[in-house]
Amino acid sequence: MPKKERKRLQVVISDEQDALLTRTAYELSSPERLISKSEVVRLAIEKIARELGEGQQTGRLEDYRAILDTADTEDEH
Amino acid sequence: MPKKERKRLQVVISDEQDALLTRTAYELSSPERLISKSEVVRLAIEKIARELGEGQQTGRLEDYRAILDTADTEDEH
């Protein structure tokens, strides 16, 4: 990627989320282009922000909040 | 979150992606529940994996590849 301001993000994820990342990276990869787990994370960030930007009126916010309530996304205490 | 296997994920993101994360965390937050940037990342991982699981036939793979080609998601070399 072009050189510009970069931040190092540290996130603790569950084993299942790590497995999801690996699977997604594999599914997005092709013989011409290998996709890394880091790329999947950056893609996922772009995607969720775009969808939220477009879709607040269509109840996406509720979708996301529902996932937040059920999936293992909460910070450790 | 319940105690189970955890992995520490390190990802380098751009300043814009960091800003997207912050904005998304704010949009998902409510007076009852503050959402952290780490939570947004975990949510985004769950979301992209679910969507890819559901939507391979509907051209989502192409959507994602298009974002990979245009957005700043590539690994540094």
Question: Residue B2 pLDDT > 90, yes or no?
Answer: no
B44 or A73, which is more confident?
B44
Q: What is the pLDDT of residue B3?
A: 59
Structure tokens that stand for A49 in this block? 């922000």
Question: Residue A58 pLDDT > 80, yes or no?
Answer: no
Q: Residue B77: which pLDDT band, with cuts at 50, 70 and 90?
A: low
Greatest mean pLDDT range, A39-43, A63-67, B2-6, B64-68: A39-43
Q: Which residue has the tokens 């477009």?
A: A54
Find which of A36, A47, A77 to mutate to test the B interface (most B CBs within 10 Å of its CB): A47
User: What value does the mean pLDDT take over residues B16-24?
Assistant: 95
Residue of B nearest to A12 (CA): B8
Q: Which of residues 54-73 of A touch B (CB under 8 A)?
A: 56, 61, 64-65, 67-68, 71-73
Rounded Cα–Cα distance for residues A30 and A11 (Å) = 27
Rg over CA atoms, chain B: 15
Structure tokens that stand for A74 in this block? 């909460």
Structure tokens that stand for A11 in this block? 């996130």
Share of chain B above pLDDT 70, in %: 86
Q: Which residue has the tokens 């080609």?
A: B69
Collect all residues with Cβ–Cβ distance below 8 Å to B60 and sequence separation of at least 6.
B51, B52, B54
Q: What is the pLDDT of residue A3?
A: 59
Nearest to A28 by CA among B51, B13, B77, B6: B51
- Name every chain B residue with its beta carbon within 8 A of the beta carbon of A47: 44, 47-48, 64, 67
Per-residue model confidence as pLDDT tens digits over B41-67: 999 999 999 888 876 656 778 888 888
- Pairing state of beta strands A6-14 and B6-14? antiparallel
What ipTM was reported for this prediction? 0.82
Residue of B nearest to A53 (CA): B24
Nearest CB to A40; choose among B14, B37, B48: B48
User: What value does the mean pLDDT take over residues A24-38?
Assistant: 94
CB contact under 8 A, A11 and B41: yes
A29 in contact with B at a CB cutoff of 8 Å? no
B22 touches A7 (CB < 8 A)? no
B76 or B21, which is more confident?
B21
Question: Residue A68 pLDDT > 90, yes or no?
Answer: no
pTM for this prediction:
0.82
